[in-house]
Amino acid sequence: MNGPGVNSFVFGFLILAYVLLIGYLGWRGWKKTRDSKDYLLAGRTVNPFVMAMSYGAAFISTSALVGFGGIAGEFGLGILWLVFMNIAIGIFAAFVWFGKRTRRIGVALNAKTFPEFIGKRFRSPGLKMFIALVIFIFVPLYSSVVLIGGARFVQEIMRIPYAWALTIFATVVAIYVIFGGLKGIMYVDALMGTVMICGMLLLLVTCYWRLGGVIPAHQALTEMAPLVKQHLPAEYELGHRGWTVMPQFNSVWWWTLVSSIMLGVGIGALAQPQLAVRFMTVKSGMELNRAVLVGSVFILLTVGSAYTVGALSNVFFYRTDLGIAGSYQALAIQAARGNPDLIIPIFIREALPGVVLYLFFLTMLSAAMSTLSSLFHVTGSSIGHDFFRTVANARHDNLTVTRVGMVFGIILSIIFAMVLPPGIVARGTAIFFGICAAAFLPAYFSALYWKGATRAGVWASVSVGVASSIIGLVFLHRKESASIGICQALFGKSELISAHPWPFVDPFIYSLPLAAAALIAVSLISEKLPPRHLNRCFKKK
Amino acid sequence: MFGLGDLSTVFAMLGSVAVTLVCIVYGIVMWNCDDTEGEEKK
C-alpha cells in the first residue's frame, strides 16, 4: 500500500487479523447452526444489542457511507433529511410499528424468511415463490453497488486497479457468508457495527478539528456557495445553490434529492427483506424496544457523520489557505474526477493520518461486508428455502441449494459491479429501495395491520408495484430510461413524458400509491381469508 | 444558524438529533417492557 504514512506490513497484518477474527466468529456461528431455524433466524434467541447492531450494520453499507457520502459532497447537507428519515422511519417506525408485529406473526406462522412470512400470512405458496423471485432478481443490483462502494475504497486507498479491488473484496465476503448462516453473520455484524461507529465518529471529529470547529467549518462551506455558478454551471442550472442549502425548489436536483433519496430510500427501508427477517430473530418485543435505542444512535453516528463529512470535503479540497487541501484547490466532485463514489475514499486517503487509515479501512470493510453478507444470505434463502423447497415440496431445507443460490447471487453481483457505470452507487441503492417499497410495502403493511387484505389483493399489489417500477425506470425516469434505451428504440425519445418534473420524479412516487390502490381495490372485491387463519396470525401472545 | 445556509438544513440536522433523542428515551422507558402482549385487545 502506498498511502501517506501507511506501513504495508502493519496494514496487511491488521487486515489479516481482522479477517481471522471474522472467520472465527463465522465459524462459531457455523458450529452452532444445527437446523434451518438457526441458519435462517439465528435460532430466534439473539440479544437486543447484537440484533440492533446487526440490523444497523446490514442497513448501512458502503453504499450509504461511500455512495451517499459522495452525494453529500455533490448535493450538500440537504441530504441530512435522509438521516432523519433513516432514524424516524428506518429505526423507530420499523422496530416499533413493523418489527414487533412481524416477530409475533412470524412466530405464530413459523415463518423464517420474508417471502415465507408473506406467503404464510396470505396462505399462498405461489406468492411466496413470486416474492422470492423478485428478491433473487433485484437484490444482486443492490449487492453490486455495495460491492462497488467497497471496491472503490480499496482501489483508492491501496492504489490498485478496480478489478483487483473488486475481486479481493468479493472473495473475502463470499467465504464467510457461504459458511456462516445468520447466527454467524449477526455476531460478525455486531462486531462490524461497533467498528463502524468508532471509525465514523473518528472521521467526523477529525474533519471538524481540521476545519477549525463545527460552526467555522459550516460557515466556510456556506461561503463557498457562489463557487457553484462559477465552477459547476451545469449543476447550477439543475438547481444546485450551495452545500448548506436545499437545491432550488422544483428543480431537477430538488426532485432527485426529495423523491429518490429522501423519500425513496427513507421509506424504502421499511420493506427491505434482509432487514425484516431480523425482527424474527429476537425472543420478544422487549428486545426490539431496546434495539430502538442502540439502532438510532448507530444510524446518527454512521450516516450522519458520512453525509456531514462528504459535504465538508468541499472545504477541505478547496481551501488551500487553511493548509489542508494540499495542491487540490478543487471542489470535491472535481477532486474525485467527476465520480461522486470517489469523494469519500479520496478524502479519507488525503485527510486522515496513516494510523487512522487502518481503522477506517476496517470500517469500510465492515460496512460493505455486513450488508453484503445479509444480502447474499437473503438471495440464497429466497432461492433455496422459498423457491426450490416449495417447488420440490420438500419437508426440510436443502442448505446446499441455499448456498448455491448465494454463490449465484455473488457471481451476478460481481458481474454487475464490473459493468455498471461510475457514480452508480447511490442511484443503484435508490432504485432497489424504491422497487422494494413499491413491491413489498403495501403487502407487508397489510400483513401486519389489515385483516381484510386478501390473497388476490396482495398478488395484485406486488405485481402492480413491480410492473409500475419497471415501467417507470424503462419509460419515464430519464436517468435510467435514457441509459437503458428501450424507450428510445420504441418511441424515438428518451422518456415518454418530457414535461417537467416527470422525467426527474422517482418511479417510487407513483408506483407505491398504485400498488397500495391495487391492494385495497382487489381486496374489497375478492375472497377473504378464513377467520380461523386470521385469529392464528393475530392471536395474543 | 450553526453556520448553515437555510432553515431546512438546520431543521434536518436538529431533527436528526431530536429523533435520536426520542428513540433513546423510548428505549430507556420501554427497556423492560414486552408490549407485544395484548396488542390485539379489542
The ipTM value here is 0.89
Q: Which residue has the higher pLDDT, B32 or A466?
A: A466
Query: Which one of A81, A216, A284 has the shortest CB-CB distance to B12?
Result: A81
Which of A88, A101, A218 comes nearest B19 by C-beta? A88
User: Which of A214, A225, A296 is facing B23, going by the closest CB pair?
Assistant: A296
Question: Which residues in chain B have Cβ-Cβ distances shorter than 8 Å to A89?
Answer: none
Domain assignment present for residue A2? The answer is: no
Most A CBs within 10 Å: which of B16, B22, B24, B29, as the mutation test of the A interface?
B16
Q: How many domains does chain A have?
A: 1
In a domain, A225, yes or no: yes
B42 pLDDT higher than 50:
no
Euclidean distance between the first and the last CA atom of chain B, given in angstroms as a whole number: 48
CA–CA gap between residue A174 and residue A409 (Å, rounded): 10
Chain A: residue whose CA lies nearest to B20: A296
Contacts of A291 in chain B (CB under 8 A): 27
Asked if B19 lies within 8 A of A221 by C-beta distance, the reply is no
Q: Say how far apart CA A369 and CA A129 lie, in whole Å.
A: 27
Q: Are the C-beta atoms of A91 and A169 separated by less than 8 Å?
A: no
Cβ contact, residue pair B26, A80, below 8 Å: no
User: What is the residue-level pLDDT of chain A in tens, covering all 541 positions?
Assistant: 444 555 667 767 777 787 777 777 767 766 666 555 555 555 556 667 777 777 777 778 778 888 899 999 998 999 999 999 999 999 999 999 999 899 999 989 988 889 999 999 999 999 999 999 999 889 988 899 888 888 888 888 778 888 888 888 787 777 766 665 555 667 777 777 888 888 888 889 988 988 888 999 999 999 999 999 988 999 999 999 999 999 999 999 999 999 989 999 899 989 988 888 878 877 777 778 888 888 899 899 999 999 999 999 999 888 866 656 666 678 889 888 888 988 988 888 888 777 777 777 777 777 787 788 788 888 888 888 888 877 777 766 667 777 788 888 888 889 999 888 887 888 888 899 999 999 999 999 999 999 999 999 999 999 999 999 999 999 999 988 888 889 889 998 889 999 989 999 999 999 999 999 999 999 999 999 999 999 998 886 5
My answer on whether omega of the bond before A513 falls inside 30° of 0, hence cis, is no
Distance from CA of A100 to the nearest CA of B (A): 6
Domain assignment of residue A3, yes or no: no
Give the relative orientation of helices A125-158 and A354-381 as an angle to the nearest 10 degrees.
160
Alpha-carbon dihedral sign for residues A120, A124, A129, A135: negative
Closest residue, chain A, to B23 (C-alpha): A293
Taking CB atoms and an 8 Å limit, are A293 and B32 in contact across chains?
no
Task: For residue A359, count other CB atoms closer than 10 A to its CB.
Answer: 15
The 10 Å Cβ neighbour count of residue A227 is 15
Contact A296 B9 (CB under 8 A): no
CATH of the domain at A318: 1.20.1730.10
Any domain includes A1: no
Mutate to test the interface with B, among A103, A263, A300 (most CBs of B within 10 A): A300
Select from A87, A96, A540 the Cβ nearest to the Cβ of B16.
A87
pLDDT of B36 above 80: no
pTM assigned to the model: 0.88
- For chain B, what's the residue count? 42
Q: Which of B16, B30, B39 sits opposite A80 (nearest CB)?
A: B16
- B13/A77 Cβ within 8 A: yes
Query: Min CA distance, B28 vs chain A (Å)?
Result: 7
**Residue B6 with chain A: CB contacts under 8 Å:** 244-246
Nearest-by-CA chain A residue for B38: A540
CA atoms of A420 and A409, how far apart (whole Å): 16
Q: Give the torsion through C-alpha atoms of A221, A248, A268, A153, to 10 deg.
A: -40
Using a CB–CB cutoff of 8 Å, tell me whether B19 touches chain A: yes
Measuring CA to CA, which residue among A40, A57, A58, A46 is closest to residue A113?
Answer: A40
Residue of chain A whose Cα is closest to the Cα of B14: A84
Q: Which three cell numbers stand for residue A194?
A: 461497533
Residues of B in contact with A289 (CB under 8 A): 26-27, 30-31, 33-35
Flag whether residue B42 sits within 8 Å of chain A, measured between CB atoms. no
Chain A residues close to B28, C-beta within 8 Å = 293
Q: Which residues of chain A are within 8 Å of residue B34 when distances are taken between CB atoms?
A: 284-286, 289
Q: Please name the residue of chain A whose CA is at the shortest distance from the CA of residue B25.
A: A293
Residue span of the structural domain in which A342 resides: 8-537
**Pick from A114, A48, A51, A60: nearest CA to A87:** A60
Q: Are B32 and A286 in contact (CB < 8 Å)?
A: yes
Distance in Å, alpha carbon of B42 to nearest chain A alpha carbon: 11
Asked if B26 has any chain A CB less than 8 Å from its own CB, the reply is: yes
Q: Give the count of Cβ contacts less than 8 A between chain A and B.
A: 128
